[in-house]
Amino acid sequence: MSCPICGQKTRMVMLSSDDRYGYPGEFALLQCQHCGHAFLDCNLSPGQLTELYTNYYPRKSFDIANFKPYSGQSGFFAWFNGLACSAFRWVPKNVRVLDVGCGFGESLGYHTARGCDVYGVEADENIRRVAEKFGYKVHVGLFDDSVYGAEFFDIVTMDQVIEHVTDPLSTLRGVARILKPEGKLILSTPNANGWGAKIFGRCWINWHTPYHLQFFSKTSMLKAAEQAGFEVTEIKTITNSDWLLFQWIHLATYPKSGQPSWFWSPKKEGETLPQKLAVRLMSLVHKTRVNHLLTRIFDITGWGDNFVFVLTKR
């Protein structure tokens, strides 16, 4: 199979399965030998993708009474915690913004409070509850640029989303069509060439099979952006420090093949005493801020687990 970004030859890296929510099946992870782009050999239909996110992702259990928009964060502790890893935090006030993959809508409330004209896209049907209650403008389904007029938005964000799409070049071209000239697309996405993937191997939390389909390298993003009518104007590795805590717990509670993970289950059913003790110990270690320090070191050296890309429409 050829690379979806540059069309060159690929090689199989490993077979991977859903080690979070127990979606059945095993999928091949391939990597381009030219641009370094990695991708999952997984041909799910739009209907299967909707089922995947609606029935397997945990948002169906979220209580809307507990809904709370994201709050503004700045200063040393925001940096130390890696909060700038999220694309929505790069959006200025008073702009028209589209958040593709808006999850449970916390970013929509954040932008609304900052004077933005906010729109959202979300494949998970559970967003309807939030949109109806708070009056958010959300397209429920996969991203479709034809829903919006040309050159309509100042900024589009995709927070941990581009890795989920089946055709990244088509998606990027669609975003370019609805952005104003010099408009920006801000992306955050896992770095499969970082330290985490190399150290933890198939247990790296961000393989997240079969939800994550695309893994961009710096080279593959530069190539994709150029083909879609963008210029990459900024590349950073910024990772939330909590990701490393989640990684240690994921290792300690790794499920049997085909079974959902106790740790990632919202109900936390079936936990064992060793698991409970391991989570408590790791949480105590996390409070020492050692995970924060390690995360900042890897980010500064460019080996962090998360990319932030800023693309400007040419």
Residue 125 confidence (pLDDT): 83
Q: How many residues does the chain have?
A: 314
d(CA 255, CA 20): 8
Cα dihedral 125, 178, 118, 122 in deg (nearest 10): 10
**What are the residues whose beta carbons fall under 8 Å from the beta carbon of 281, sequence distance 6 or more?**
none
Residue 23 confidence (pLDDT): 86
Residue 270 confidence (pLDDT): 66
Q: Which residues of the chain have pLDDT under 50?
A: none
Residue 259 confidence (pLDDT): 85
Residue 257 confidence (pLDDT): 81
Residue 123 confidence (pLDDT): 85
- For residue 80, the one-letter residue type is F
- Assign domain 10-313 to its CATH architecture: 3-Layer(aba) Sandwich (3.40)
Is the distance from CB of 238 to CB of 296 less than 8 angstroms?
no
**What are the residues whose beta carbons fall under 8 Å from the beta carbon of 224, sequence distance 6 or more?**
5, 168, 169, 172, 216
Residue 58 confidence (pLDDT): 63
- Tens of pLDDT, residue by residue over 137-184, are 999 988 999 999 999 999 999 999 999 999 999 999 999 999 999 999
Residue 202 confidence (pLDDT): 93
